Chain A
Amino acid sequence: MNKKILILFAHPKFENSRIHKQLITAAKNHPDVYIRDLYQEYPNFNIDIKKEQELLLKYDIILWQHPVYWYSCPPLLKQWIDLVLTYGWAYGDGGNKLEGKLILNVVSTGGRKEAYSKDGGNKFSLNEFFLAFQQTATLCKMNYLPPFAIQGSHKLTESEIGIHSKNFQLLLTLLQNGLINSETSIPSQSLLNEFILTLKS
């Protein structure tokens, strides 16, 4: 049985984005994927908590898709996390509604992979920056996967982005068919897109 995927997409400047446009188009053509465009849904940040929670219950796999701003997500996604993942529902006493779901970040970064390393300008890897997301997922009893990251976004040509979005489609298929799941052993400091490539070869 196909697993259902919910993409929580947060991009305040989607119209200027090259990467996410292609990724979203790719996801749109994919069956059993629901894209929730948060900035379109809540332009004034007034998130409908109940509705978001009901949606979460219907899906097995959740993708936080966003560009990386200041080593984190855009503010509306943070707002979503703050408001929707409530005590007693997502975590804490009796908070087990999200238990067992798979979750990961699908991101783009301006800086290339080398910039996100001990010797790069950013000093830390993306996995390290995203520890906050990982711990959030863990506290909600979800299984967090390493990020799927498209990096060096400014330098990428359209066709290079095309390759990435093919890869993204592959990720969606693998996730849906349960070929990547909580038991899959992925090296902790790697990116999910690199891992997929190793599967391919």
Chain B
Amino acid sequence: MEHSFLFQALVFLLAAVLCVPIAKKLGMGSVLGYLLAGILLGPYIFGFIGKEGEDILHAAEFGVVMLLFIIGLELNPKEFWGMRKSILGFGSIQVFGTTALLFLCFIYFFHWSIQMSLAISLSISLSSTAIILQTLKERGLSNSVAGQASFSILIFQDIMVIPILAILPLLAIPGVAPIASKQTSIIDGLPGYIQTLVVFGVIGLVYGITRYIVSPLLHLVVKVNLKEVFVAASLTIVIGVSYTMTLVGLSPALGAFLAGIVLASTEYRHSLEATIEPFKGLLLGLFFIAVGSTINFGIITAKPILIFSIVLAVMFVKGVVIFSIGKIFKMSFRNNILTAILLSQVGEFSFVLLNFSSTLYIIPKDLFELLMAVTAITMVITPILLVIYEIIENKAFKSTLGEPKQQADEIHSMHKVLIIGFGHFGSTIGRFLRANGISATILDHDPDRVGLLRKMGFNVYFGDGTDLDLLYAAGAEKAKYLIATIDPPEVNQEVISLVKKHFPHIEIIARAKNRYDAYDLLDMNVDSIYRETLYTAVHLAVDVLTKLGVRAYTAERKGYDFIKFDEDSIRKLAKSRHDKKQYILSAREQIELQEKLLSEDMHFNLTQNDSAWDSEPMNNNSK
């Protein structure tokens, strides 16, 4: 079916706009929504997308590249280096273990040839970076144990794409396969060791260029102060790196990830992230839609048993391997299950690898189609499994603990306070309230912590506050105060806007990460804002003043004055911030704001005279 470009764009966007909110409403996450949209648009239901689905898929794979760039940005080199053990440990066991088990499975149960089994098991041992990271982020699990483990494995998988691409041609049956024409890298003709050298050289080059050329260039670009130039520059970085990597036959995603890490330590980190984010989101959405649309229902209806037995075998093997890794590394049962579910699908790189194998004639065309269907189906199943997991998780809690413990005090047992997020910040609040006889209802997304807190008798729900049903379940309708303490400001703000919309009676008390976060919260009409950095920093400064010889009480009062002054000025500046054109906060703007702030500080009267009691006039009277 041929359609004009505009019509296609309209259909895609409309499908996304309709399906994603519905999926989210049903608690399924956006990934499933996109996939369903793709299935609807695909040739088997409405037929808006025909064969071009695969082309779209290739174009949309760029969304994965951008996703990895952003992940790199969020991870600085130090953190990355700190993760090297888990990347190698988790990752290698996952890839090799899964490959080996699947290989045996294919040989014995499906009676495929050795070459074919090996090529397929290698290809589908990889999981979907796009689905997993998107899901982790959406559910606020990125920093949980399960999230970190999944992330390590995914990084290793992305690295493994390169050697697998190198191994596959060796599996081709000589004479049948044409010389690998798929590979267009410029170093193909060179001997192995030189190729290796070139590969490392390029990685070093990417590092060097990003570090010493791109960063200064960005500085220049920012000075031009044109938003679109910065957008262009951001895209240039991502596309440039990807292109360089494909030249030498490396995964563009890996290159983007590397560039992201290098740029993470520059001041443009947040602006880059904010600029790339919408592109990434759209392309990823497109990617998922494309995956949905390429599911060949013809094959599925023709060979349902074969396909679903492969799906089952693949997901089962993957799950079991992850679960065993978890056991080896002594992860908790809950985290283990969660990681196993998260990584159980076949990934988008598998599309690439399978396609490559197919062009090498290692796997026949019909089997390739079939495996594509398998891959897509596993991608659809993962988010569904996750939803089921969360339901069971919350049910299990209720049945094991029965009714939440009743406090003697009527008022307290009503749980008027909801705490969202129970990390370092939230837990301090919860402990303090509990020490004063107020038991709050807590929402947290770390399975380990939830388990522990339940044992301690806290009323805890698993999941984060972005889930409306969970908020209802936690008794948001009856709650009087909601304390939003989630670490990533975006998630925190998401919770707040959700609560504001559905439970307008609740007074929101919010943690703000920093000034900029506080500005956003003020824009959302949240009045009780607590900047996590302000009070501690002023407190420290007060102690320094005292150590320097200023009277403790005077320093204390100056501290409180300063906090009040700062809170007033943030409200003032929040308004003036909108005098400018709407624009994401660039590094340059941050500096401008800082400048305004500092000049505002000049009005802070350090020699305030507070000698309230003065009897001098009285003295004169009495004369």
Please determine whether B613 and A43 come into contact, CB atoms closer than 8 angstroms.
no
Name the CB-closest residue of A to B554.
A15
Does A95 reach chain B (CB closer than 8 Å)?
Answer: no
Would you call A112 an interface residue if the criterion is a C-beta within 8 Å of the partner chain's C-beta atoms?
yes
The answer to whether B555 has its CB under 8 Å from any CB of chain A is yes
Flag if B618 contacts A12 (CB, 8 Å): no
Residues in B neighbouring A122, C-beta threshold 8 A: 618, 622
Contacts A110-B618, A115-B619 given; does A40 touch B613 at CB 8 Å: no
Report the count of interface residues on B (CB-CB < 8 A).
Answer: 19
Known: A14-B551, A15-B551, A43-B556. A111 touches B611 (CB 8 A): no
Q: Which residues of A contact B619 (CB under 8 A)?
A: 110-112, 115, 121, 152, 154-155
Contact in complex: A111, B622 (CB < 8 Å): yes
Interchain CB contact under 8 A, B551 and A111: no
Within 8 A of A (CB), among B135-151: none
**Which chain B residues numbered 527 to 577 have a C-beta less than 8 Å away from chain A?**
546, 550-556
Is B615's beta carbon under 8 Å from chain A?
yes
> Which residues of A are found within 8 Å of B613, using beta-carbon distances?
67-70, 110
Q: Mark A35-47, 1 if CB is under 8 A from B, else 0.
A: 0000111011000
What string of 1s and 0s marks CB contacts (under 8 Å) between A107-150 and chain B?
Answer: 00111101100001110000000000000000000000000000
Query: Residue A16 at the B interface, CB < 8 A?
Result: yes
Asked whether B614 is an interface residue with its Cβ less than 8 Å from the other chain, the reply is yes
- A51 CB–B CB distance under 8 Å: no
Q: How many A-B residue pairs have CB under 8 A?
A: 58
Answer yes or no: A58 CB below 8 A from chain B CBs: no
Q: Cβ of A110 and Cβ of B551 under 8 Å apart?
A: no
Q: Which residues of A contact B553 (CB under 8 A)?
A: 12, 39-40, 43, 76
User: Are B611 and A16 neighbours in the complex by a CB distance under 8 Å?
Assistant: yes
Tell me the smallest distance from the CB of A101 to a CB of chain B, in Å: 27
Q: Which residues of the other chain, A, contact B618 by a CB distance below 8 angstroms?
A: 110-111, 115, 121-122
User: How far, in whole Å, are A21 and B555 apart by their CA atoms in the complex?
Assistant: 19
In angstroms, Cα B615 to Cα A69, docked, is 9
Whether B551 contacts A115 by the Cβ 8 Å rule is no
Q: Write the nearest CB–CB distance from A156 to chain B, whole angstroms.
A: 12
**Closest partner residue, chain A, to B557 (CB atom):** A43
Distance in Å: Cβ of A157 to nearest Cβ of chain B: 16
- CB-contact partner of A40 in B552, B610, B611, under 8 A: B552
CB-based contact B622/A121 at 8 Å: yes
* B554 pairs with A111, CB closer than 8 A: no
Q: Are A115 and B622 in contact (CB under 8 A)?
A: yes
Query: Which A residues are in CB contact (< 8 Å) with B55?
Result: none
Minimal beta-carbon separation of A150 from chain B (angstroms)? 13
* Contact partners of A14 in chain B: CB under 8 A: 551
> Scoring B residues 597 to 623 as 1 if CB is less than 8 Å from chain A, else 0, what string do you get?
000000000000011111110110110
Chain A residue, CB-CB nearest to B614? A110
A24 CB, nearest partner CB in chain B, Å: 12
CA distance A33 to B621 in the complex (A): 39
Chain A residue contacts of B556, Cβ below 8 A: 43-44
Q: Tell whether A50 is near chain B: CB-to-CB under 8 Å.
A: no
A115–B550 Cα gap in the complex (Å)? 34
Please state if A109 and B610 are interface contacts (CB–CB under 8 Å): no
Q: Roughly how many angstroms separate A78 CA and B462 CA in the complex, as a whole number?
A: 49
Question: A120 — which chain B residues lie within 8 A by C-beta?
Answer: 622
What are 13 of the A-B contact pairs (CB < 8 Å)?
A: A14-B551, A15-B550, A16-B611, A39-B553, A43-B553, A69-B612, A76-B553, A110-B613, A110-B614, A110-B616, A112-B619, A115-B615, A121-B622
Given A12-B554, A15-B554, A112-B622; 6 other pairs, CB 8 A cutoff: A13-B554, A43-B546, A43-B552, A110-B613, A114-B622, A115-B615
**A-B pairs, 9 with minimum CB distance:** A110-B615, A43-B556, A121-B622, A43-B552, A39-B553, A69-B613, A43-B553, A115-B622, A111-B615
